[in-house]
Structure 1
């Protein structure tokens, strides 16, 4: 997922270029900072959709939606591999919701990003396609 402008939902894309020191090429959140790429578990989104069925992909401004990856077990400093090339270093877990609450929090009474949003920097770039494997390569001890 990517967006070319901040403040709007991201749109789904089939492939993306991950660039060291930036994030996902052409994404509005890319840049020289600690939240270049965002990940969110699809299972978490499913729980929100139970209360808000009209929720669409990209509503949380997430770059990557995972399935079957235990994002709850990652810690700052861990590394995730996407496909065979791309490495992401986890830099932050969770992020403060907007001061007045995002649209999702207003509609459901809860927002998952403060607890379940995962943020990373790109330490090894490359090309990724939807469906590429994502694995934790350096678990916390």
Structure 2
């Protein structure tokens, strides 16, 4: 059974690796029930997790990046490779999951968590220099990209409360085959996959615009 290991929220942490002096990537497990909300427009609102901190609203927060989920199974693999403990929230994820194939989740897939909250898979997380600086691992962006286990950003379709231990149920899977893993590879190391992304109507509009722009550049070359 898939379930939530932890719900994680961040506090402002000083950083030299962002346009902002602080980052909210340092997320820690929260005890008890946590309210999940539909955030405001992109660029104006933080994540959908009450109490979570987002410092750079240009690239984080908003409806299409309301919640970030990462699989404990993938963290465990990174623990073995890096030889260090990786606690829930260390990748900046709001939800640390167990028993759920986050990389294989399709864009538009819907997850019901507990009895109230309904989330929709929107897009993969693309690594940035803030993430690299936080992990402090040599060549981190390339290593993370090569592994292609990016975790998933999710929309909040139905708000409510969640807590560690809540079951996660996949209640809808769209008919296309555009997964988080495929979308990540298309947007990073394998641009030949870009045309396939347009089969996913649920892909964020801004991402679709980037895909179309890149495809146009390829055609003009």
With the shorter chain as reference, the TM-score category is 0.7 to 0.9
Of structures 1 and 2, the larger Rg is shown by: 2
The higher-RCO structure (CA 8 Å, 6+ apart) is 1
**Structure 1 residue aligned with 2:49:** 24
Counterparts of residues 41-120 of structure 1 (less than 5 Å): 41-50=71-80, 51-98=82-129, 101-104=132-135, 106-107=137-138, 109=140, 110-111=143-144, 115-120=149-154
**Structure 1 Cα separation of the partners of residues 53 and 155 of structure 2:** 14
**Structure 2 Cα separation of the partners of residues 102 and 44 of structure 1:** 20
TM value normalised by structure 2: 0.56
**Structure 1 residue aligned with 2:182:** none
- What is the Cα deviation at residue 107 of structure 1? 4.6
Aligned residue pair count: 141
Structure 1 residue 130 and structure 2 residue 170: aligned? no
Contact 1:86 1:125 in 2 (8 A): yes
Q: CA RMSD in A?
A: 2.6
User: Structure 1 136/4 Cα, relative in aligned 2: closer, same or farther at 3 Å?
Assistant: same
Structure 1 residue 139 and structure 2 residue 173: aligned? yes
User: Structure 1 120/57 Cα, relative in aligned 2: closer, same or farther at 3 Å?
Assistant: same
**Structure 1 Cα separation of the partners of residues 172 and 129 of structure 2:** 32
